[in-house]
Amino acid sequence: MNTIHRRALPLAAMMLVFGFAAYAAEPDSVTISNFAFSPAILSVSSGTKVTWTNKDEEPHTVTSADAGKTFKSDALDTDDSFSFTFDKPGVYKYFCSIHPHMTGTIVVK
Amino acid sequence: MSTRRGFLKCMGWAGTGIAWTVMGGIPRAVNLGGDAEAAASGFSFVQISDSHIGFKGEVNPDPRGTLQVALDKIAALPNKPAMMIHTGDVTHLSKAEEFDTAQRIIQGAKLDTHFIPGEHDVIGDDGKQFFDRFGDKGRTGMGWYSWDQEGVHFVALVNVYGFAPATGATLGKDQLEWLEGDLKGKSASTPIVILAHIPLWSIYPQWGWVTSDADQAFAYLKPFGSVTVLNGHIHQVVQKVEGKVTFQTAMSTAFPQPKAGEAPNPGPMKVPADQLKSVLGIRDIEVVPPASPKLSDQTLA
């Protein structure tokens, strides 16, 4: 019993830590993988810094779809990241300027 | 015997007179003596594409090396090409050092070279760095241009701008208007060679292998007896002949891509290192105007 107890505690602690980490990382990041933005629609609260990370071997960009290009990354090579802080509520559509069929949306509340 | 005499008689007539022939897809009367000599001249040029300098992916960590192999292959061709065309994606990420490296390697070939940009060459600066180095003096609009060479009319189109979410490549209204004017007054028997990075026919729209307003361009090209469309972008040879129009995409000098729809995405296709050169290549194009150009794709293996 004692052994099981000792094993169970660190495991529970680890699960808790990883659980929180996953929870904390998820709401403000977008993964670019397999020629898609994931999640395709991300809701965040105003003032949130959103980070996109490219996990593909092909480069991608994060380019705001509005005429004024509210946000626009350089070419993101494999494992490169781009961040933008959304200060105003609204619906922000974006795409990859190299592969325009890749689209995503950030909803800022 | 009478058949043979008839044949010889006919030969005699043909030798001194005129004959009908189909050249440039347009039947026309030719003076056999004069045009035979003109036809014997002619020239060749080469196409390279998608050199992606700056690519570091597993399939080819050294795209500079494979570009050099491609240029060495061209230097070894039995007929020295009159010029070279590069149909875009010279660089991988539009970085200054990538442009510099590409320029240095390509200049080493000592060939008059005509460039058009790929979408990888215009990231972030709408092609400024690309056109500073590789822009044609006669270019207009967003970089398109045309020139005549030894009886062939070449048109270099740009279809890597104006990308909008969920739409494919386009030529755009301005470029189409320019094309209509550019072709006006050209004889229908002039062979036309069109260059564009992204295919001008719908190969696989799901992966963006399409130019959505290309139909309008082909409406302007309809009167011409020989139209050859040389594209890049998809890193493999795909050919289609439609009436008098021959479409052909080219191999890359850097890495292969999967066949349409045969992978989850169009990203670089992994091949064993010892097979890489067999899926990279160059294209040699023989032209004897007014006949249609003859395309010959060769791998780097």
Using CB atoms, pick whichever of A59, A93, A94 lies closest to residue B92: A59
B32 found inside a domain:
no
pLDDT of residue A3: 42
pTM: 0.83
**Structure confidence by residue, pLDDT tens digits, A31-64:** 999 999 999 999 999 999 999 999 999 999 999 9
B161 found inside a domain:
yes
Contacts of residue B123 in chain A, CB cutoff 8 Å? 59, 61, 74-75, 97-98
- Cβ neighbours for A32, distance < 8 A, ≥ 6 positions apart: A38, A52, A53, A54, A55, A56, A60, A62, A76, A96, A102
Contacts of residue A105 in chain B, CB cutoff 8 Å? none
pLDDT along chain B (301 residues), means of 10: 40 37 43 43 95 96 98 96 98 97 98 97 94 96 96 97 77 97 96 97 93 96 97 97 96 98 95 97 94 95 96
pLDDT of residue B163: 79
- A101 part of contact set with chain B, CB < 8 Å: yes
**Residue reference for tokens 């030529």:** B171
pLDDT of residue A6: 46
pLDDT of residue B269: 96
Using CB atoms, pick whichever of A56, A57, A74 lies closest to residue B123: A74
pLDDT of residue B16: 36
Interface test with B, best of A37, A55, A57 (most B CBs within 10 A): A57
Contacts of residue A103 in chain B, CB cutoff 8 Å? 165-166
Inter-chain CB proximity A100 and B165 less than 8 Å: yes
Which stretches of chain B are assigned E, i.e. beta strand?
A: 18-23, 26-31, 43-48, 83-86, 113-115, 145-149, 152-156, 192-196, 227-231, 239-242, 245-249, 281-287, 294-299
pLDDT of residue B290: 82
Domain coverage including residue B259 = 44-299
Task: Give burial (CB, 10 Å; 0-12/13-18/19+) of B213.
Answer: middle
* CATH label of the domain that carries residue B185: 3.60.21.10
pLDDT of residue B267: 94
- By the 8 A CB rule, do B195 and B87 touch? yes
CA of A102 to nearest chain B CA: how many angstroms apart? Answer: 7
Inter-chain CB proximity A95 and B165 less than 8 Å: yes
Closest chain A residue by Cα to residue B159: A98
Structure tokens belonging to residue A65: 């779809």
B16 found inside a domain:
no
B18 found inside a domain:
no
Compute how many other C-beta atoms are within 10 angstroms of the C-beta atom of residue B114: 20
pLDDT of residue B124: 87
Interface test with A, best of B60, B97, B119, B129 (most A CBs within 10 A): B119
User: Would you say the C-alpha torsion B137, B139, B143, B144 has a positive or negative sign?
Assistant: negative
pLDDT of residue B226: 96
B5 found inside a domain:
no
CA of A1 to nearest chain B CA: how many angstroms apart? Answer: 49
B268 found inside a domain:
yes
Closest chain A residue by Cα to residue B61: A57
Contacts of residue B166 in chain A, CB cutoff 8 Å? 95, 100-101, 103
Note the ipTM here. 0.76
Contacts of residue A72 in chain B, CB cutoff 8 Å? 124
The hierarchical CATH code for the domain A27-108 is 2.60.40.420
CA of A65 to nearest chain B CA: how many angstroms apart? Answer: 7
Contacts of residue A56 in chain B, CB cutoff 8 Å? 265, 267
DSSP-assigned beta bridge partners for residue B249: B231
DSSP-assigned beta bridge partners for residue A31: A38, A53
pLDDT of residue B167: 66
Pairing of strands A29-33, A41-44: unpaired
- The type of residue at B170 is T
Instruction: Name the domain count of chain B.
Output: 1
